[in-house]
Copies of this chain bind each other. A is one copy, B any other.
Amino acid sequence: MTKYTIGIDYGTDSVRALVVNTENGKEMGSHVFHYPRWEKGMFCNAAGNQFRQHPLDYLEGLEISVREALRQCPEGVAGQVVGISVDTTGSTPVAVDREGTPLALKPGFGENPNAMFILWKDHTALKEAEEINTMARSWGGEDYTRFEGGIYSPEWFWAKILHVLRTDRKVREAAWSWVEHCDWIPALLVGDTDPLKLKRSRCAAGHKAMWHQNFDGLPDEEFLVRLDPLLGGLKERLFSDTYTCDVQVGTISDEWAEKLGLPNTVSIGAGAFDAHLGALGAEIEPYYMSKVMGTSTCDMIIAPAGEVGNNLVEGICGQVDGSIVPGMIGLEAGQSAFGDIYAWFSKMLMWPVDHVVARLQDLDEELKEQMRRETSEQMIAELSAAAEKINPEESSLLALDWMNGRRTPDANPNLKGAIMGLTLGSDAPGIFRALIESTAFGAKMIVDRFISEGVRIDGIIALGGVAKKSPLVMQIVADVLNKPIKVARSEQAVALGTAMAAAVVAGVYASVPEAQAAMGSGFETEYHPDPGMVSLYASRYQQYKRFGAFVEEEINHSTA
């Protein structure tokens, strides 16, 4: 009997379910469900960097995406599904009650953004992250940030929890515990979301919650209380053990088996973050940097524990045993904005269409709306086509890619983007190209840091929307990094990696590398550095670093 697994991939805007044949990785059916409340901008405030998601968006998406994906499969496949694993964005925690129910699902909290999942890119906890960093370095005990790159981010678990506890009394009083999105969905499928029982993800806990074997788990109660007495006692209502993605958290509940149209024997795997399972899907191997290139990037490396286990890499997001591939140290870094920068510039260019054209009186409203929509849809493709024709030697433009702060190396969420070299002849495609180059320079900063800290990089594997869609970006990144880049073939590498994990969880394969070997879909393209561009960009990169050093000093000075 052929066995199938399902990878459920919760992204920033939508959830995808993918049904995979475990024998060969063949993708049998898939469906994408866009979060309806999120799509309307509900519960968010972009100007204040508040990004929240309602649990109903996830619940509706779970049921619909899986059912629709199964509907595409030949008859009989649903009955032969043996495992489900789940990946999500992260750190995306939510306040839950004693039963593990997100508060937003409870009466009185349905419209309260603080009772919802706090999306990875929410930056409301800037101040709390700073306090955690200060405390970690000054309290006299263990620096709990040291396996997370030495700098705690406002995008992470404790900063977000503390921010909500401080700012929302109602949520504070009702929150018995806190759960990551990637831990809640598997628990839900198993039918028991008790915060004390549900199996927490190693990758979420290790990279975002300052969990580490060396600390016997989460940070000390004393540390947390010193940070804020509001955190007192919470540790006991969280967790001490964590689980890698090859671990079964249980078997699907009858309720969910019925809802999804699956046998009630399906194994449910421990959750993990999307990027990490994407790295599996794109066949990560030791010392190959796996880059998930989308709105932001996640740059991952795995290495045998014996080789880097005790060498902490300064200023990256973290290094955690088993966080990517069980049995290997997973090292993670990333850029806090990548494709988001292209989207930002494109959106800025929409201003005349959104504001000036919108007020022109003689034009038909429907035509204006059609034009607005089509222009917005085609903008990035048109900018890319024009930017591709630019000879970078003739451009004086140089940008910094910190429009959403900097995640690695050396996290600094206060940093901001910049452009220099503007002339009266600078045009939109020229600036767009400089922005692309800046994101490539940001990528090189991360690669350089790994190398200077003694972690070699033998090659680059790319996946994610930008990797698949933009040859221009990929060529520039290859030229700047001066390394060839292989692009994973699968259109849904993250969900595929999650399905691979599910195959291990269900016992189809004994280990992740075995599942990868059987189920991997290989690579579709390889970008090779253009030697002429390599030397030009090497010199621009030096200028990028000087520009960055200036801007960072200015911003640190003005925020000090």
Contact = CB atoms under 8 A, between A and B. Distances in A.
A72 interface: no
Contacts of A46: 424-425
A422 B438 CA distance: 13
A403 interface: yes
Contact of A340 (B348, B370, B424): B424
Q: What is the oligomeric copy number?
A: 2
A210 to B, nearest CB: 27
Interface stretch (A257-265, A317-325, A375-383, A475-483): A375-383
A422 B403 contact: yes
Interface in A348-368: 348-353, 355-357, 359-360, 362-363, 367
B356 A379 contact: yes
A470 interface: no
Given A348-B431, A349-B352, A418-B418, A543 B554 contact: yes
Interface in A255-289: none
Contacts of A543: 554, 558
Interface stretch (A86-94, A159-167, A544-552): A544-552
A510 interface: no
Given A418-B419, A543-B554, A426 B360 contact: no
Interface residues of A, number: 56
Residue with the greatest number of chain B CB neighbours at <10 A, chosen from A374, A375, A421, A425: A421
Interface string A385-412: 0100000000010001001100000000
Interface string A67-102: 000000000000000000000000000000000000
B396 A423 contact: no
A422 B340 CA distance: 13
A337 interface: yes
Contact of A352 (B370, B379, B558): B379
A265 B126 CA distance: 78
Interface string A330-349: 00000001001100100111
Contacts of A396: 416
21 contacts: A340-B424, A348-B427, A348-B428, A348-B431, A353-B353, A355-B386, A356-B374, A356-B375, A356-B378, A356-B379, A357-B375, A363-B367, A363-B370, A371-B371, A396-B416, A403-B422, A404-B423, A418-B418, A418-B419, A419-B422, A547-B550
Given A416-B420, A417-B421, 6 more contacts: A46-B425, A416-B421, A417-B422, A418-B420, A547-B550, A550-B550
Interface of A: 46-47, 49, 337, 340-341, 344, 347-353, 355-357, 359-360, 362-363, 367, 370-371, 374-375, 378-379, 382, 386, 396, 400, 403-404, 416-429, 431, 543, 546-547, 550-551, 554, 558
